């Protein structure tokens, strides 16, 4: 039985291990919309909750933090070119199409590109992609929240990790209850 030290493990993508595919939407903290992969291979964060182009297939290897993100509708992977621009590709095997999920203290997730160290997926307030070379982990533009597509419940309720999926905005009822208790 061979063991790989943790530091080495993140560099190795084990082709034998079972790939885990999850479906979710990525909510952009800055644009207030969801990341979408369009048929023209363009990527932006302008989609509404439940939009067909906002449904993303996220392939994880067993180590969990390294992911490939593919538009469920278009089949294009979200990749980063050498200029730091987000592009859609039909083949997502390169390291430019692999992102490391980093869960931040504020429970947002940042997605760092595996090929271009220190470059993150990021979007402006208007939902336009930001060049990876201009991004840092602490910036709001790189903060995302994983959300289940509208109307889709977790396959096995209670089995997903805490903070994996956050449901918001709060329902009107909770808002009303909170408002009345403050009077």
**Residue 76 included in any domain:** yes
Please name the residues in contact with 46: beta carbons below 8 A apart, sequence gap of 6 or more: 31, 33, 36, 126, 127
Which structural domain range is residue 96 located in?
Answer: 6-182
- Find the CATH number of the domain harbouring 140: 2.80.10.50
DSSP label of 91: -
Q: Which residue ranges of the chain lie beneath pLDDT 70? A: 1-18, 62-64, 153-183
DSSP-assigned beta bridge partners for residue 100: 66, 112
The tally of domains found in the chain comes to 1
Please check whether residue 74 is in contact with residue 53, taking contact to mean a CB–CB distance below 8 angstroms: yes
pLDDT in the model for residue 65:
87
**Residue 1 included in any domain:** no
**Residue 101 included in any domain:** yes
Q: What is the tens place of the pLDDT at every residue in 104-136?
A: 999 999 999 999 989 999 999 999 999 999 999
**Residue 107 included in any domain:** yes
pLDDT in the model for residue 3:
52
Prediction pTM value: 0.75
């Amino acid at each position: 039985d061979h063991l790989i030290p943790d530091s080495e493990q993140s560099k190795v993508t084990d082709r034998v291990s079972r790939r885990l595919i999850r479906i979710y939407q990525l909510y952009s903290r800055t644009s207030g919309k969801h990341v979408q992969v369009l048929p023209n291979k363009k990527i932006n964060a302008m989609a509404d909750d439940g939009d067909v182009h906002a449904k993303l297939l996220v392939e994880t290897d067993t180590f969990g933090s390294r992911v490939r993100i593919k538009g469920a509708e278009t089949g294009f992977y979200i990749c980063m070119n050498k200029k730091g621009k987000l592009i859609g590709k039909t083949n997502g095997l390169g390291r430019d199409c692999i992102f490391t999920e980093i869960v931040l203290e504020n429970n947002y997730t940042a997605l760092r590109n595996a090929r271009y160290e220190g470059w993150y997926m990021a979007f402006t307030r208007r939902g336009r992609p930001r060049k990876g070379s201009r991004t840092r982990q602490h910036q709001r533009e790189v903060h995302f929240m994983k959300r289940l597509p509208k109307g889709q419940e977790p396959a096995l309720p209670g089995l997903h990790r805490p903070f994996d999926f956050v449901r918001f905005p709060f329902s009107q009822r909770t808002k009303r209850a909170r408002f009345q208790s403050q009077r």
